[in-house]
Chain A
Amino acid sequence: MNRRPADNPVAATVSALLIPFMQIYSLYLIAHGDLGPGGGFQGGAIFAASLILRAVVFGLDREEERRLDTIAGSLAAAGVLVYGGIGLLCMLRGGAFLEYPALPFADPKTAYHLGIYGIEIGVGLAVAGAMLMLFMKTAGSRDD
């Protein structure tokens, strides 16, 4: 994959308009998973799709490719760590694994809410990272 000016003006214009919308929408889905449809998985997948769309339409140079590869792996690992970390934090505070009311917040309802919020972020990071990892490995350039 090489960095290049998009060779199709229609694809370039449409994706330039769509990519920011997709990214905001993915964050919205992660943040509002408790109120409406969506959540970490959907938000993470749409966020990864926005970066993949950008890479497909505009291409990536070597430097960007290497950076995206590193970021993807770190995101995926960080997501699992955030999820597991919240579970362990609940245990440290004397609850069971993922017993959100044990989290250090004023009342159990807030703790429950913020705990779920936290693990949705974890799921989103893990899914976005995993999708990007798979994309980079199948579509990225190979040196052999």
Chain B
Amino acid sequence: MALKFAFLLILVVCAAAAVRARDLLSSVILLCAYSLVMTLTWTLLNAVDVALTEAAVGAGIVTVLLIAAMGRTVSREEEPEPAAAGAASALRRALPLLAVLCTGAVLVYGTLDMPDYSDPSAPANTHVAARYISGSVPETGLINFVTAILAGYRGYDTFGETTVIFAAAVCASLILGRGVRK
């Protein structure tokens, strides 16, 4: 439990530092650290499949892609203009803070009605989940029922996802490759 809170604290610190950093390289490395801590959090929550993906894609490939993208742009944010004094500019700075606080309050209010983590009587655990847990091994013969759900029961969805990944990669290459003579 203490470990979970420590991870959450590190996540918040990393996220805040990544936003505050003026140097894009620092931001990218902080995001990589964020993903690594997220990997540990997924492992703590027993979501090993998600942890593997987070480590490989979030901490690994995305970091490399962001650093590579930095090579095509400037890597430092310009210093902000010194804020003008006066009531109007003070209001202009206070408004975003107010908006963020209100949104945050609404989100926290929304979580109050959420069921406890791994509550067996939560709606998500009372409908199809029980059916998958008890039925997937006799029906599919696969021991890992995450795979049985992804590739068996939801094979259409996974086919759609694979096609989306393919289409996204093709579109990104077409856009990024425009104007390049080979």
Contact = CB atoms under 8 A, between A and B. Distances in A.
Do A and B come together as binding partners? yes
Interface of A: 29, 33-39, 41-42, 45-46, 48-49, 52, 56, 66, 73, 76-77, 79-80, 83-84, 87, 97-98, 100, 109, 112-113, 116, 119-120, 122-123, 126-127, 129-131, 133-139, 142-144
Contacts of B152: 100, 112, 116
B49 A130 contact: no
Of the listed residues B61, B72, B140, the one surrounded by the most CB atoms of chain A closer than 10 A to its CB is B61
A127 B48 CA distance: 19
Interface string B132-171: 0000000011111011101110011011001101101110
A121 to B, nearest CB: 11
A144 B179 CA distance: 8
Chain B contact patch, size range: 35 or more
A130 B165 contact: yes
Interface of B: 48-49, 52-53, 56-57, 60-61, 64-65, 68-69, 71-72, 140-144, 146-148, 150-152, 155-156, 158-159, 162-163, 165-166, 168-170, 172-173, 176-177, 179-182
Given A39-B49, A97-B156, A34 B64 contact: no
Dominant secondary structure at the B interface: helix
Dominant secondary structure at the A interface: helix
